[in-house]
Structure formats: structure tokens, C-alpha cells
Amino acid sequence: MNRIESLFEQFSRNGRKALMPYITAGFPDLATTAALIEKMPQCGAAMLELGIPFSDPIADGPVIQSSFTQALAKGLKSKQIFKMLTDVRKRVEIPIAVMVSFSIVNRLGPEEYVKSCRDAGVDGLIIPDLPLEEAQPIASLIQQAGLSSIMLVAPTTPIDRQDQIARMSSGFIYYISLTGITGEREQLPAELVDNVARLKKVSGGKPVCVGFGVSTPAQVALVSKVADGVIIGSAIIRRISEAEGTGLDGIVAKVSEYTRSLAQALASAHP
């Protein structure tokens, strides 16, 4: 088992749920990204999702799109991200999954990209623009490297297709809580709990984590009642953006305070 599988096996035994912050690589710079990755385990994060900036993001809202644009404007390259991860992995033990466009994977070459991920200490890949019909060769390549191939299910995904996605996924299944783009929401869809429960019936026992729109401690607690993990993205990126003028230490402090509040809500919901 890799780190993701081991984490969920342990959490399943202990009745715990995983908090998974999302961080954009290179926003506002790689030094800040590295500092945040190192700090998040101390704030209650069980694993991390690292977004790889892309010029034409698939479902990312304006907050994450802006972080991508700023990172790319500074000339960010994949090899720089891998170098940063290789260094950070010496000090960070929790699982790290990258969310990356297939265009980036294909540009470097799937075998080379997966190898670079493995060598840098990445534990799983999320490729949101890879259709199910074309995913099997890449999923097999990822899994043969000992990494998790994490696939996405949307509220509009038919149940038979959910079953196919679940069978091809490893590590966990990423459930998108709402249709449309990422971003904070005052309220999550009323049908979210039922939809996740339905997905878990066809998941084959694989963990289900929920992302998109989740931002408040109350929402984290609600989602964790039915999901195995909760992913927080835009709310974290917004706080990084708001704290840019305070320097690296200020950004880390602001994001840390917020992440701790989410971890506390999660712990209270599962004493």
C-alpha cells in the first residue's frame, strides 16, 4: 500500500476522517508552497492536494484560476515543482496528491511524468480532463508505479458510470459536490449527503472524498458525516492571496489558523 491507501485503512479502523487542503504550486512562489506543505500536518491536515498550474484550467473558479495565472507568469516549470517536492518530502510524511491537466502529463510523456511524481514523493494523481474512455492506460501506468489513480465523479454522473469510475480509481474517489466551477459556497447542495451515500454503495469499499465548494467548519463537519475525507481549495487560496502583503510568515500564519479551525470541526464531529 502507498501512503494514501495506508492512511485510509488506518482512519477506517479508528473512525477518523481526512482533512485535505489544496495548495496551488508556486503561488505566490515555490518557497511559500514548500512552507505551507511543511506546516499543514501540524494544523490537522491528513493529506494534501497540490494543484499544478495550467493555462486553460478545466473547472477551476476565479480564485484558483488567478493563482494559476500568477504562478505561470513567473515562468513556473514542472521540474521546479518536482525539485521542491523532493526536498519537502524529506520532512513531510503525509500523503500528497497532485491535480494536473492531462496536457501537462502528455507534454512530458505519461511514463516520464508518472516516474517524476514517484521519484519526488507524490502518492497519487488526479487528472480532471482525462475522460473515462481514455483513462485505463494512464490509470494502469500510475498504479504500476505504486501511486493512486484518483478519478472524479460529478453529481450528474450516471450510476453505471459511477460504478465504472469507482472500479478504475485507486486511493480514493473524488466526489465533486456541485456542478460548475470550484469556489466557496454559502450552502452546499441539499442532495449532497444522499449523492455521496449512493456513490459509496458502488465504490467497492474505496474511500470517497468530497471537494468543490466546501469552505466553512460547519460544512466540513456536515460532509464528513458521510464522506471519508474533505477537500478544501478556493477558501485556502483566497486566504493566501489576502495575506500576500504580509510575506511568507504572514501567509503561513493565516492559512494555518484557518486550517486548524477546519480540523477542530472535523475532530468535534468524530470524537
Rounded CA separation 236/81 (Å): 19
The pLDDT assigned to 181 comes to 44
pLDDT at position 271 = 74
Which pLDDT belongs to residue 9? 97
Domain architecture of the chain: domains with CATH: 3-269 (3.20.20.70)
Average pLDDT, the chain: 92
pLDDT value, residue 193: 87
- Element containing residue 124 per DSSP (H, E): strand 124-126
pLDDT category at 58 given cuts 50, 70, 90 is low
Cβ–Cβ under 8 Å, residues 67 and 32? no
Half-sphere exposure of 39 (CA within 13 A, CB side): 20
| pLDDT number for residue 177 | 82
Which pLDDT does position 255 carry in this prediction? 98
Beta bridge partners of 148: 124
Higher pLDDT, 100 or 180: 100
CB 165 within 8 A of CB 144: no
pLDDT level of residue 135 (50, 70, 90 thresholds): very high
Write out the DSSP string of 136-180: HHHHHHHHHTT-EEE-EE-TTS-HHHHHHHHHH--S-EEEE-SSS
Q: Residues 66, 68, 69, CA angle at the centre, nearest 5°?
A: 65
pLDDT at res. 62: 79
CA distance 150 to 142: 10
- What pLDDT is attached to residue 190? 76
Judge whether residue 37 has pLDDT over 80.
yes
d(CA 209, CA 229): 4
| Nearest-angstrom CA–CA distance, 156 and 207 | 20
pLDDT greater at residue 213 or residue 105: 105
80-106: per-residue pLDDT in tens? 999 999 999 999 999 999 999 999 999
Q: What residues are labeled active site?
A: 49, 60
pLDDT given at position 30:
97
Cα-to-chain-centroid distance, residue 173:
11
pLDDT above 90 covers a percentage of the chain that reads 85
- 21 Cβ contact list (under 8 Å, min separation 6): 40, 45, 48, 49, 231, 232, 233, 236, 255, 259
Say yes or no to pLDDT of 61 above 90: no
Query: pLDDT-derived band of residue 56, with 50, 70 and 90 as boundaries?
Result: confident
206: exposed, middle or buried (Cβ count in 10 Å: 0-12, 13-18, 19+):
buried
| Range among 57-66, 71-80, 217-226 with highest mean pLDDT value | 71-80
Q: What is the pTM of this model?
A: 0.94
Distance between CA atoms of residues 138 and 136, nearest Å = 6
Residue 134 cell numbers, joined:
481514455
Q: What percent of the chain has pLDDT over 70?
A: 94
Position 189 scores a pLDDT of 60
* Residue 179, pLDDT score: 54
Say how many CA atoms lie within 13 Å of 88 toward its Cβ: 27
User: Is the pLDDT reported for residue 110 higher than 50?
Assistant: yes
Q: Which residues contact 28 (CB under 8 A, 6 or more apart)?
A: 70, 71, 240, 244, 251
